[in-house]
Structure 1
Amino acid sequence: MTEDVTPTPVATTSIDQPIGEIVENWTPRLHPLANPQYHTLQETHFTYLPYGPFKTIDEFKELINLKELSSSNTILYSIQVNDIAVGFNALACINQEHGTIEIGHENFSAQLLRTRSATEANYLLLHYAFDILGYRRVQWRCNALNVKSWRAALRLGFQYEGTWIKAEVCNGRSRDNAWFSIIDDEWVQLKQEFQRWLNSENFDSNGQQLTKLNAAQINPRSNEKMDKTSRI
């Protein structure tokens, strides 16, 4: 015999439809996303970017809509792991005539930072720019005070080229831009190193790397700089 689990109605409508009881003095509760750490997390992610933090999702959507305009010369990419968006980056400053392009707008969540997927996200953009689109130069530009971005560029094999002093005014503050690049002549060796490091055999069962990425040391330009320094 099947148990009857139908709730007993406490009232009915004017057309005899069963309804629940009235909840006196009820006001909707806060959405779980409205947590006290929200603004702190926002600020840490947008300190060195020319936009944000955002008060609402709609504000963030407005930025995406602006960046999707052809006049912005930017192509944004959502980085997804297990079908969950955990960050974004972009190809920007696209110069088809001279074959130069920039990886920028990097914004990785805590779930993505220092993971295999984070490195792979940048490798895929490099591969796309050099191997598919045929660009000659991929550059990386960051606020010279952004130490994390500086270190990330060097780890990926980008070579430091110099700093432009007072290059911009962002959010009312003076900004110096540090410039880095990888060129097509260097990509063949760097690509092999990325593929070696990204191979599943280079990671244990917990996803931890067994060997480090040596792109910075493998880049021929880096070795050339060392040779020049030793001759001084």
Structure 2
Amino acid sequence: MSPPLGDIVDTRPVPPPARTVLEGRHIALVPFSVEDHARDLFDLSSGPANDALWAYMGQGPFATFEAFQAYYAAAATKDDPLLFAIVESGSRRAIGHATFMRIAPADRAVEVGNILYTPALQRTIGATEAMYLMARHVFDDLGYRRYEWKCNALNAPSRRAALRLGFTFEGIFRQHMIVKGRNRDTAWFALLDHEWPGAKAAFEAWLDPANFGPDGRQRRSLEELRST
């Protein structure tokens, strides 16, 4: 008797994410440019009041703009992680960043990570729109079958965000990494291609202007829309 085997799947590789612009109503994701984005992002993420932004990041906080600039000048040249600035649609001010990383075109799997949301982006419609635009690009434009989210297992806000956005918790990799001299257990989440149509419909219903009242508050939550 033959041992159990996985389903046969399309083995054609998909293209890796490229430096492109993902334009939304409130924000856009654009290839990171030190000249265009470093100063805005540094000003919004530096200082003792913002140290917590960097608690679970692999880098930072940065004491000087020069140190920040040097790090991001190198980061912006890499293809994996592929770094995007999150900019306001009108002003094009950089208010955050995110990357596509651990890109595996042959397996059609990719991770979203290195996400930095400054206070100007946190808890805004644009914060959710950024994650929608990246997921839509991965599934609809590039044809990936697995979209991953990983975070420090102690990072409760990131874990809540993953679940809110439609990712499924898959477990904890214990003693997975050493980051800034400390142990990191990593929580793994994923969104799969057959789950994307439902997640996409919920994202688009949530982002619809009709979902927000005159005070800017949501009428229905993303989780509620995904469950209907």
TM over 0.5: yes
Matches within 5 A, 1:138-153: 138-153=147-162
For the residues of structure 2 that align with 1:47 and 1:99, how far apart are their CA atoms? 31
Alignment partner of 1:214: what SS?
helix
Superposition deviation, residue 68 in structure 1: 2.7
Alignment partner of 1:185: what SS?
coil
Alignment partner of 2:47: what SS?
helix
Superposition deviation, residue 66 in structure 1: 2.4
Matches within 5 A, 1:73-222: 73-81=80-88, 82-83=90-91, 84-214=93-223, 218=227
Higher RCO (CA 8 Å, separation ≥ 6 residues) = 2
Aligned residue-pair number = 183
For the residues of structure 2 that align with 1:85 and 1:185, how far apart are their CA atoms? 33
Superposition deviation, residue 167 in structure 1: 0.4
Conserved? CA contact 2:198–2:226, under 8 Å: no
Q: Look up the equivalent residue of 1:77 and give its one-letter code.
A: F
Q: Look up the equivalent residue of 1:112 and give its one-letter code.
A: L
For the residues of structure 2 that align with 1:149 and 1:125, how far apart are their CA atoms? 17
Percent identity over the alignment?
Answer: 36
For the residues of structure 2 that align with 1:215 and 1:76, how far apart are their CA atoms? 31
Alignment partner of 2:195: what SS?
helix
CA RMSD of aligned residues (A): 2.0
- C-alpha distance 91-216 of structure 1, shift in aligned 2 (>3 A): farther
1:68 counterpart = 2:76? yes
1:41 counterpart = 2:49? yes
TM-score for the superposition, normalised by structure 1: 0.74
Q: Which structure would you say has the larger Rg?
A: 1
Conserved? CA contact 1:165–1:177, under 8 Å: yes
Superposition deviation, residue 80 in structure 1: 1.4
For the residues of structure 2 that align with 1:172 and 1:100, how far apart are their CA atoms? 29
For the residues of structure 2 that align with 1:130 and 1:147, how far apart are their CA atoms? 27
Partner of 1:31: none
TM-score for the superposition, normalised by structure 2: 0.75
For the residues of structure 1 that align with 2:138 and 2:217, how far apart are their CA atoms? 28
Superposition deviation, residue 208 in structure 1: 1.6
Alignment partner of 2:102: what SS?
strand
For the residues of structure 2 that align with 1:151 and 1:46, how far apart are their CA atoms? 18
For the residues of structure 2 that align with 1:53 and 1:140, how far apart are their CA atoms? 22
Superposition deviation, residue 38 in structure 1: 4.7
Q: Look up the equivalent residue of 2:210 and give its one-letter code.
A: E
Instruction: Return 5+ residue gaps in structure 2 as ranges.
Output: 1-42
For the residues of structure 2 that align with 1:56 and 1:185, how far apart are their CA atoms? 45
Superposition deviation, residue 216 in structure 1: 8.9
Superposition deviation, residue 76 in structure 1: 1.2
